[in-house]
């Protein structure tokens, strides 16, 4: 079980507050059919469970392989909707901005807008808003382009895949017949495909999971990151602080939690504007901090401190110093209100489809953003007046971190080393072995895993001169463990340390941090973009490069979708906990072996950080040998 803030856990226990770990214990032992993936609830003759030797088939005749494959595809599709819905919100917002129907948001990065427009084939010699309209329509095209089961439009596929993927991958995916046409259609089609009496071919279903995952990767992750950069600005390398110690006893504390920065960035803006109101209420000011991916979005663009990962959300309230938590969507525990009602904390929901009984609902749209953000901040100030000082305990855990890495910011930093050819220092270091390989670590925190998997795995890889880049709750964990500040280079092997120092020195820093914070979970697109760039530059397909991924504590369906996207890209991926596929030998074999012949990547299973690092290093070593990079 990952370690959490100990003193706060004790406080919660003294105050008789039930937290996630207690609920986890009460769920033990967890259902074996659920864990091995052989429970089917896809029709109401069921639920059916596969019992080897007794009931090898469900009532309709579906066997273990089919049930496992269908469940897998359904989870990937559900996870994908999280990201495609997110991307669509930003595309729609951009259209409202472009057409002047909202003035609450603008265009913060016109250069990125032009760059995207150029890739999409849009003329850029016109005013930014006109370009923005066309870019938004091209983005929305990825949700509108129609295809039928009997009508496949020749050669049409997602715009966002077309502008990002490497030629090698597009050819590969075309041959596999998995180029997605419409991001929404892919996910709804997956539900039809897996309902009772449709696709009965488990291998076919697994290949189709790759198609859905490509919709996730491009018209979910990449589109969300791209358009958010346009509206809110691209990330810059920035220094900030992390962990629950970022809450400030003397200030009104507002936590922004969820995923879509439309909310968080506005709350930051209005907190600045309403400082005087907070002072009138007796506070020293307003302190906005982020939770989960909303935190990363505000951190990478504005240097806002990040309070914590998914498993720390309730603990933030236990501090007694959280005056308001404003949430949008995803990874928001329904338990937040149960904990909030024990304190003065105001839980504020903002989206029509994310409501929590007992919480205050302040609808937040792109048209009402300013008004709603102001209301949220005023609610927090009102709540602050009711704060009980006797209940306040802010833990001392707080660490410095550098964040804001991504293709643009990294290229800028590398350009200080080699202005004419910025990627060259990185590629040279990879070839020479100064950087032995690149590890991309992503995903959640999960109580099911033993110990601090994220931190331990990262440290072993660093020691072996592997450059670690990552996102999401891994980034919270790594930063809290001191793996993202300047002192963190001590964890890097000597060769990697020299590279990090050289790049850091050229940028006025003593060093780059040991591992690079690549942002929120949609920002996994920044990782794929970097790898795509290295692949294009070296003319070596991603699956042949010394790269390995890991989702060592994944918990959500979204993480499964991202993992499957990495596999489609050709990134061999360690996952933990063991996926819910063990009830089918066929599906387990497809993921851990056969997939390598299909996309060039496979799943690595390992339940300890040592074993995971060993498997990832072995995968990297093999690629180096095949490339003759010793
Ligand atoms: O999208 S890593 S627990 S916060 S799902 Fe959620 Fe997992 Fe954290 Fe952000 Ni990502
Ligand atoms: Fe059972 Fe088949 Fe219905 Fe699933 S789809 S619940 S296996 S009858």
**Residue 214 alpha carbon to ligand 1 centre in Å:** 19
Instruction: Kindly state whether residue 519 falls inside one of the protein's structural domains.
Output: yes
**Greater pLDDT, 286 or 148:** 286
Per-residue confidence (pLDDT) for residue 630, from 0 to 100: 78
Same domain membership, residue 438 and residue 505: yes
List phi, psi (to 5°) of 313: -65, -40
Closest CA to 346 of 371, 372, 309, 321: 321
Question: What is the rounded distance in angstroms from the CA atom of residue 42 to the CA atom of residue 389?
Answer: 51
Percent helix, strand, coil in the chain, to 5, is 50, 10, 35
CB of 477 within 6 A of ligand 1: the answer is no
Instruction: Kindly state whether residue 532 falls inside one of the protein's structural domains.
Output: yes
Of all ligands present, the nearest one to the C-alpha of 520 is: 1
For residue 5, give both structure tokens.
């803030």
Name the CA radius of gyration of the chain, rounded: 24
Which atom of ligand 2 is least distant from the CA of 47? 6
CB of 293 within 6 A of ligand 1: the answer is yes
Question: What is the rounded distance in angstroms from the CA atom of residue 543 to the CA atom of residue 568?
Answer: 10
CB of 50 within 6 A of ligand 1: the answer is no
Same domain membership, residue 539 and residue 421: yes
For residue 112, give both structure tokens.
């990125």
Residue with CA at minimum distance from ligand 1 atom 3: 444
Give the residue, out of 257, 290, 310, with the most ligand 1 atoms within 8 A of its beta carbon, to mutate for a pocket test: 310
Same domain membership, residue 407 and residue 518: yes
Same domain membership, residue 554 and residue 414: yes
Instruction: Kindly state whether residue 575 falls inside one of the protein's structural domains.
Output: yes
- pLDDT over 80 (residue 121): yes
Q: Could you tell me if 217 and 568 are in contact, meaning their C-beta atoms sit under 8 angstroms apart? A: yes
Of 391, 413, 443, the residue that ends a domain is: 391
Give me the mean pLDDT over the 42-70 stretch.
Answer: 98
CB of 332 within 6 A of ligand 1: the answer is no
Question: What are the tens digits of pLDDT across the range 179-195?
Answer: 999 999 999 999 999 99
Per-residue confidence (pLDDT) for residue 149, from 0 to 100: 66
Residues near ligand 2 (Cβ within 6 A): 40-43, 45-48, 58-60, 62, 67, 196
Strands 48-49 and 286-291: unpaired
CB of 252 within 6 A of ligand 1: the answer is no
Of 205, 232, 259, the residue that ends a domain is: 232
CB atoms within 10 A of CB 612: 25
Give me the mean pLDDT over the 413-431 stretch.
Answer: 97
Question: What are the tens digits of pLDDT across the range 292-325?
Answer: 999 999 999 999 999 999 999 999 999 999 999 9
Instruction: Kindly state whether residue 104 falls inside one of the protein's structural domains.
Output: yes
Strand order in the sheet with 547-551: 515-517, 466-470, 437-441, 547-551, 573-575, 603-605
**Residue 73 alpha carbon to ligand 2 centre in Å:** 16
For residue 177, give both structure tokens.
């017949």
Instruction: Kindly state whether residue 238 falls inside one of the protein's structural domains.
Output: no
Instruction: Assign residue 102 the CATH number of its domain.
Output: 1.20.1270.30
Same domain membership, residue 124 and residue 154: yes
Same domain membership, residue 185 and residue 308: no
DSSP label at 48? E
- pLDDT over 90 (residue 155): no
Banded pLDDT at 146 (limits 50, 70, 90) = confident
CB of 475 within 6 A of ligand 1: the answer is no
Of all ligands present, the nearest one to the C-alpha of 446 is: 1
Same domain membership, residue 264 and residue 198: no
Residue 444 domain boundaries: 403-627
Residue with CA at minimum distance from ligand 1 atom 1: 521
Cis peptide before 47 (omega within 30 of 0): yes
Same domain membership, residue 620 and residue 561: yes
**Residue 29 alpha carbon to ligand 2 centre in Å:** 25
**Residue 36 alpha carbon to ligand 2 centre in Å:** 16
Same domain membership, residue 495 and residue 421: yes
CB atoms within 10 A of CB 533: 18
Q: Could you tell me if 144 and 182 are in contact, meaning their C-beta atoms sit under 8 angstroms apart? A: yes
Question: What are the tens digits of pLDDT across the range 222-244?
Answer: 999 999 999 999 999 999 999 99
Same domain membership, residue 294 and residue 222: no
Same domain membership, residue 599 and residue 542: yes
- pLDDT over 70 (residue 153): no
- pLDDT over 70 (residue 152): no
590: helix, coil or strand? helix
Instruction: Assign residue 497 the CATH number of its domain.
Output: 3.40.50.2030
Same domain membership, residue 563 and residue 434: yes
What total number of domains does the chain contain?
Answer: 3
Instruction: Kindly state whether residue 28 falls inside one of the protein's structural domains.
Output: no
Of 179, 210, 232, the residue that ends a domain is: 232
Closest CA to 72 of 175, 255, 249, 204: 204
Instruction: Kindly state whether residue 116 falls inside one of the protein's structural domains.
Output: yes
Question: What are the tens digits of pLDDT across the range 259-300?
Answer: 999 999 999 999 999 999 999 999 999 999 999 999 999 999
Of all ligands present, the nearest one to the C-alpha of 58 is: 2
CB of 443 within 6 A of ligand 1: the answer is yes
Q: Which helix (H) or strand (E) holds 193?
A: helix 183-193
Taking the complete model, does pTM exceed 0.95, yes or no? Answer: yes
Q: Which helix (H) or strand (E) holds 7?
A: helix 6-14
Q: CA-CA-CA-CA torsion for 260, 263, 266, 270, nearest 10 degrees?
A: -150
For residue 622, give both structure tokens.
């093999």
Instruction: Kindly state whether residue 51 falls inside one of the protein's structural domains.
Output: no
């Amino acid at each position: 079980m990952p370690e959490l803030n100990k003193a706060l856990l004790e406080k919660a226990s003294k105050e008789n507050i039930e937290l996630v770990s207690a609920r986890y214990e009460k769920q033990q032992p967890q259902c074996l059919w659920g864990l091995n993936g052989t429970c089917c609830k896809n029709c109401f003759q069921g639920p059916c469970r596969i019992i080897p030797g007794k009931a090898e088939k469900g009532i309709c005749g579906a066997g273990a392989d089919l049930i496992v494959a269908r469940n897998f595809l359904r989870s990937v599709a559900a996870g994908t909707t999280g990201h495609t819905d997110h991307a669509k919100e930003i595309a729609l917002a951009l259209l409202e901005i472009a057409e002047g129907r909202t003035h609450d948001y603008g265009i913060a990065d016109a250069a990125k807008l032009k760059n995207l427009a150029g890739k999409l084939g849009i003329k850029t010699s016109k005013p930014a808003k006109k370009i923005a309209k066309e870019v938004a329509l091209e983005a929305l095209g990825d949700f509108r382009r129609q295809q039928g089961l009997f009508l496949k439009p020749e050669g049409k596929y997602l715009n966002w895949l077309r502008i990002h993927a490497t030629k090698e991958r597009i050819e590969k995916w075309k041959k596999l017949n998995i180029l997605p046409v419409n991001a929404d259609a892919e996910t709804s089609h997956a539900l039809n495909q897996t309902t009772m009496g449709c696709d009965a071919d488990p291998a076919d279903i697994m290949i189709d999971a790759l198609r859905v995952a490509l919709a996730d990767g491009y018209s979910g992750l990449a589109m969300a990151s791209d358009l958010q950069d346009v509206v809110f600005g691209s990330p810059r390398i920035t220094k900030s602080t992390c962990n629950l110690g970022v809450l400030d006893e003397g200030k009104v504390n507002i936590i922004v939690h969820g995923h879509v920065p439309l909310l968080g960035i506005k709350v930051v803006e209005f907190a600045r504007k309403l400082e005087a109101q907070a002072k009138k209420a007796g506070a020293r000011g307003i302190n906005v901090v982020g939770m989960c991916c909303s935190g990363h979005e505000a951190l990478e663009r504005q240097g806002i401190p990040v309070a914590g990962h998914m498993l720390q959300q309730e603990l933030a309230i236990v501090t007694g110093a959280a005056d308001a938590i404003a949430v949008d969507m995803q990874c928001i525990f329904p338990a937040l209100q149960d904990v909030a009602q024990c304190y003065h904390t105001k839980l504020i929901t903002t989206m029509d489809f994310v409501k929590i009984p007992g919480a205050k609902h302040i609808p937040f749209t792109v048209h009402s953003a300013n008004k709603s953000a102001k209301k949220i901040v005023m609610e927090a100030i009102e709540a602050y007046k009711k704060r009980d000082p006797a209940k306040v305990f802010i833990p001392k855990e707080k660490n410095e971190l550098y964040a804001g890495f991504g293709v643009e910011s990294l290229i800028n930093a590398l350009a200080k080393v080699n202005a004419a050819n910025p990627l060259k220092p990185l590629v040279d270091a990879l070839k020479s072995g100064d950087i032995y390989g690149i590890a991309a670590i992503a995903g959640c925190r999960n109580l099911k895993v033993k110990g601090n998997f994220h931190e331990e795995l990262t440290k072993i890889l660093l020691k072996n001169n592997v450059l670690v880049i990552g996102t999401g709750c891994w980034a919270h964990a790594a930063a809290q463990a001191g793996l993202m500040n300047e002192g963190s280079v001590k964890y890097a092997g000597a060769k990697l340390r020299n590279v990090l120092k050289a790049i850091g020195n050229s940028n006025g820093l003593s060093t780059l941090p040991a591992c690079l914070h690549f942002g929120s979970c949609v920002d996994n697109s920044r990782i794929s973009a970097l790898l795509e760039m290295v692949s294009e530059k070296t003319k070596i397909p991603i699956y042949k490069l010394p790269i390995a991924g890991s989702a060592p504590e994944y918990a959500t369906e979204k993480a499964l979708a991202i993992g499957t996207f990495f596999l489609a890209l050709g990134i061999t991926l360690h996952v933990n906990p063991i996926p819910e596929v063990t009830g089918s030998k066929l599906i387990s074999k497809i993921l851990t072996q056969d997939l390598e012949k299909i996309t060039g990547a496979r799943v690595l299973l390992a339940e300890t950080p040592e074993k995971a690092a060993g498997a990832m290093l072995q995968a990297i070593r093999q690629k180096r040998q095949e490339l003759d990079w010793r």
